[in-house]
Amino acid sequence: MDGHLSMRLAPDNSETSAVYNEARSLAGVSLWSLASFAATELRIRQIHQFMCNSFQGAAQRERQDLKLRYEIRASIPLADLFSTIEEHKETLCLSEYGVSQTSLEQVFNMIARDQQHCQYDQSKGPRRT
């Protein structure tokens, strides 16, 4: 066991904090909640490994429950991207997927997120935290 599930189950992880809090309560966590959490996390991990192994340099940019957004190099032909995903769609249990260019809103959000991690020091200028 590599500890993947236990690392994902944390009080400060907005995606898993409900299961974490349930597990820490006197009543405990229901078997259904625990099984659902484990199945979801293992499925997401399988998709992530597939994306990273299939598309060099692929980076997960966003996750909202079961919706994942990846950035993939523009040098990969769209036909190759679609055929690779279609070939593994059933294995990955994908009900739907889409491919699109990064929107201006997404670029703005990425820049804003990066800026949150920067601090400004009068003598040294900006630095990452």
Mean pLDDT value across residues 64-71:
88
Kindly tell me if the per-residue pLDDT of 120 is higher than 70: no
Kindly tell me if the per-residue pLDDT of 54 is higher than 80: yes
pLDDT grade, residue 121 (50/70/90)? low
Mean pLDDT value across residues 92-111:
82
Q: Which residue has the higher pLDDT, 52 or 108?
A: 52
Kindly tell me if the per-residue pLDDT of 108 is higher than 70: yes
Domain boundaries, the chain: 4-95
Return the closest-CA partner of residue 9 out of 41, 51, 45, 54: 41
Q: Which residue has the higher pLDDT, 29 or 120?
A: 29
